[in-house]
Chain A
Amino acid sequence: MNNVNIRLRIVLIIVSLISLTVIVRIIYLSLIDSEDYNIFEKEEYMAKRGDIFDRNGHLFAISDELDSIYALPFEMTAKKEIAAKLSSILNIKEKTILEKLQSKKNFIWIKRQINPNQAERIVKEKIKGVYLKKEYKRFYPNKNLASQILGFCDIDNRGVEGIEKALDSYLIQNLNRENRPDIEQEAFNLTLTIDANIQGFAEYSIRNAVISEKAESGSLIFVDGKTGEILAMANYPDFDPNFYSNYNQKNFRNTAIFNQYEPGSVFKIFTIASLLDYNAITKNDFFVCDGVYHKGNLKVKCTGIHGPQNIAGIFKYSCNDATLQAANRIEGKVLYGYLKTFGFGETSSLLLTGEQSGLFRDISKWTDRSMLAVPIGQEISVNAMQMVRAATTFVNDGVMIDPFIVKNIFDDNKKIIKEFSRTEIRRVLRKGVSKDIIKAMESATDEIGGSARRLKIEGINFAAKSGTAEIFDPKTNKYSDKEVTSSLITVFPAENPRYIAYVVFHNVYHDEEGRVRWGGIIGSNLLNNFITRLTGYVDFGSENQITVKQKDVSISKQFKKLSKLPEIMPDLIGLSGGDAESIFSNLNVKVKINGAGLVYKQSPEDGTTLTKGMEIVLYLK
């Protein structure tokens, strides 16, 4: 029995060891932070996002609570029946659902963010293994407005493009994580420097112009050059962030910072400013244009034979010959240094995504040709915002300002968490040079012969410079003879410069008769249109911050009171509650209003057939 006792003792020791191991493991597990187990970061996909507003409190983006439906297949017995039931409610193919249910996963999303009617039916059906979960969905009440600035969010409510991505960490709620107050954060809201109305005007103008000019795309930037606030940054084509998946990737790109192109003659203002600052020329130096500029055996054709011209004449006629004569008084590396200080070849600090720095070849790689190309805006590529940023130098007497798009970040108690304001980047030109440049640029709008003479609005003096750049085709290794990049910059009011408007059309085809669509012409048409509309809205005479004459001009929609009930539900999103309600007054429907502000959601959705006595619910915020 002795041997047995030893064996029994061994068994007891093993029992004790197992028991001890298990106890140690239990204690260890109980000490782990339960957050470490969050499989799909529940807080993240459940998380709320802060709202985004324009500078006047107009809503750009909000979060809305919706149900998502998921399944735990291991709880299910009759998967086929369940798939059939779900299919009829959700309008998804039965086969698709069944495949999901038969997968080996323990947790499956059947459909994210379903509409409330479907959610109600799912609840009623009480299907075994099928559950609902509340999620927040991002909603953009203004649809395409400012879409490329805002960007959009994926199904998990994380920013994918634009400000949504750049400021994702501020916008997204980081729920109370146990013992981790350091990363706990509520969903912060943003105020942009953008003015929804100006943005609306800008988008309207650029859209019409791009379509009528048959350009591939276009951008219009409007900034308060004194402060650096971007008031509008409009591109076309654009997209509706509510339905981003219907669009091509290309539509998401913020053309104003994404497209890199040779700026052409607009660039001359930076060349001439550099020369003035370096004292290589004076504003009264004359250069004789004979139609061609020669240097060694290289030559550059001018747009005409302009005769003797000073800097005002250079801008007025956009004279290549005179510009190059002036520029070649200095060495390439001097010009290179100036253009670097103007910020070319570097990205900005804008809180946006997709910015391209442009290609500004290092001085060591310049060839003999470079000093015949760079001064007139070739052999260098820029993005539109770089041009505007460099131009802020002329508004601030030689100091370049950093344009910005986010005004502040604030919490739900309106407490400001972070504020952005005018930031000087550096002094580029000595005092006084800017004034000469502005004065010279004014001549471009001279009625007789000015290249931007069509830019003309009663009561405003414009300093401007246009550009029409040929497009280098890397395939043929030649400049295209069919299309150009047309652009126009203006700084106004010329007597007290404050605002900068810059428009650029990409890939504008020559018209039917083969004529080039000059920047001075199509740019002027557009800016006339845009700025004329602005004169009713912005007080350009005001010395201080941008002053708006009237608030809330209807941005894109003009609804009249309806005389009879329409057959289908109109799209009311973005309207003020009063406007939306008045449309239906005296008609045979009940209108219920939830909240205050602008309509961000409507039931039924637009396109639904309306019947008498129907209840229309509008959600306002």
Chain B
Amino acid sequence: MKKDSHLQNNIGIALLASVILLVGIGLGFLYSASQPASLKYFNNQFYYLIKQGIFFIIGIFFFMAGFFIKIEFYKKNIKFIVVITLILLIVTLIPGISKEVAGGRRWLNLVIFQFQPSEIAKLVVIFYLSFVLANKKEFIEDFYKGILPPLLLVGFISFLILAENDFSTTFLVLVTSMTIFFLAGIRLLTFFMLIGVGGIAGVLMIFLAQYRITRFFAFLNPWEDPLGSGWQYIQSMKCFSLGKFFGKGIGESAQKSFALPEAQNDYIFAIIGEEGGAFFAIVVVLLFTAFAFIGLNIAKRSKDKTHFLLASGIASLVFIQAMVNIGVVIGILPSTGITLPFISAGGTSLVIFMFACGVLFNIAHKEAG
């Protein structure tokens, strides 16, 4: 047992190490990628770096919170948490309270700070499903008793996020949920049926909105409209060929100021590719993969099914979100507007993910202790 506990501690340290490396690399490239935008809007090249640094410090407190708050606490209050989340999501849809950015209504303006409730919703869904599905031991293979109720709630939350015009977060919530359902042990037939239904719904969603069609299919042939819908694919892929294997060196990106402005958001991975080369890009991919492996390992070692689902849910969310973001940048997925966890500029996202890491660390530690 002692050996095992030692191993668990090691896993916690590995988890921390991967997160610290990601945030560290992230801050370095964030500083470089955000320089043009920082200078342009705030006349201070460190603007985004400082902002992200502040959120990182706030994030440390959230990490601590995630680590110290007992999982039972969430379990007791999950109904309350879900209701609050639903209220936040609905409020976000009301003009006046929320802020519209680039055709989507995703931001809640709370005077002092703004945040995206959908970022919270992603995590809440994981918590909720973990608790509910862990409790359904004997019903897990029964569709109506075991799966339908949580499915309806996930569906409703997804619908609200979709109403914010946030197709990509919806996708993320659904894929993460499916992973949890799968690991919770639902029947394979049910699982594949759900995937089928989700797929059909997704296709319908895409074809119902004309602007989504062009946007969706642009990645297949960006050269059809290189100055329009294909622009960002071409420019972000070009970063990797400019960076070659070892990159141009940090701060040397040419793409960030002309071709991919505001690269600190969704396209920071392209700047990593240009300045750090394929080498750094692969390091980042491997770190996310390591994160997923560590998270799933923590899950595997946990004796409690709630913990098992919660840990694997968090690990999946981080990995899937990272790969979707990277997949867009390297031109194999349609453009989504999703950030790269721990790395892209964005306060809510960083704080939430650090909180999630705290929860993971908590689980790892608990199983060890």
Contact = CB atoms under 8 A, between A and B. Distances in A.
Contacts of B40: 128
Contacts of B240: 26, 29-30, 32
Interface string B315-328: 01001000100110
Given A27-B282, A34-B238, 18 more contacts: A5-B300, A7-B182, A8-B300, A12-B293, A15-B319, A18-B319, A19-B285, A23-B285, A26-B273, A26-B282, A26-B285, A29-B241, A29-B273, A29-B278, A37-B238, A39-B226, A39-B231, A75-B261
Contact of B241 (A36, A74, A106, A107): A36
Given A8-B312, A15-B292, A25-B330, A31 B183 contact: no
24 contacts: A4-B308, A5-B300, A8-B299, A11-B179, A11-B183, A11-B296, A11-B312, A12-B293, A16-B289, A19-B286, A25-B331, A26-B282, A29-B237, A30-B277, A30-B281, A32-B241, A34-B241, A37-B235, A39-B226, A75-B262, A104-B229, A106-B231, A106-B232, A128-B40
Contacts of A32: 237, 240-241
Chain A interface size, under 10 / 10 to 19 / 20 to 34 / 35 or more: 35 or more
Interface in A5-54: 5, 7-8, 11-12, 15-16, 18-19, 21-23, 25-27, 29-34, 36-37, 39-40
Nearest to A129: B261
Nearest to A25: B330
A10 to B, nearest CB: 8
Contacts of A4: 183, 185, 308
A16 B289 CA distance: 7
B186 to A, nearest CB: 10
A418 interface: no
Interface string B215-229: 000000000001111
B113 to A, nearest CB: 21
Nearest to B226: A39
B241 A37 contact: yes
Chain B interface size, under 10 / 10 to 19 / 20 to 34 / 35 or more: 35 or more
B12 interface: no
Nearest to B262: A75
A72 to B, nearest CB: 6
A288 to B, nearest CB: 76
B203 interface: no
A22 B182 contact: no
A198 to B, nearest CB: 47
A8 B241 contact: no
Contacts of B231: 39, 106-107
B234 A39 contact: yes
B358 interface: no
Contacts of A297: none
Nearest to A18: B323
B242 interface: yes
A117 interface: no
Nearest to A16: B289
Interface of B: 40, 179, 182-183, 185, 226-229, 231-232, 234-235, 237-238, 240-245, 258, 261-262, 273, 277-278, 281-282, 285-286, 288-289, 292-293, 296, 299-300, 308, 312, 316, 319, 323, 326-327, 330-332
A3 interface: yes
A105 interface: yes
Interface of A: 3-5, 7-8, 11-12, 15-16, 18-19, 21-23, 25-27, 29-34, 36-37, 39-40, 72, 74-75, 104-107, 128, 131
B238 to A, nearest CB: 4
B241 A105 contact: no
Nearest to A107: B227
A333 B331 CA distance: 68
A8 B183 contact: yes
Contacts of A107: 227, 231
Contacts of B332: 21, 25
Instruction: Give the residue among A22, A27, A39 with the most B Cβ atoms within 10 A.
Output: A22
A16 B308 CA distance: 20
A11 B278 contact: no
Instruction: Give the residue among A7, A19, A72 with the most B Cβ atoms within 10 A.
Output: A19
B285 to A, nearest CB: 5
B181 to A, nearest CB: 10
A30 B285 CA distance: 15
A473 B188 CA distance: 85
A3 B305 CA distance: 13
Nearest to A103: B228
Nearest to A32: B241
Contacts of B330: 22, 25-26, 29
Contacts of B312: 8, 11
Contacts of A31: 241
Instruction: Give the residue among B231, B286, B299 with the most A Cβ atoms within 10 A.
Output: B231
A27 B278 contact: yes
Nearest to A108: B227
A422 B98 CA distance: 80
A30 B278 contact: yes
B273 A30 contact: yes
Instruction: Give the residue among B228, B242, B285, B312 with the most A Cβ atoms within 10 A.
Output: B285
A15 B330 CA distance: 17
A150 to B, nearest CB: 32
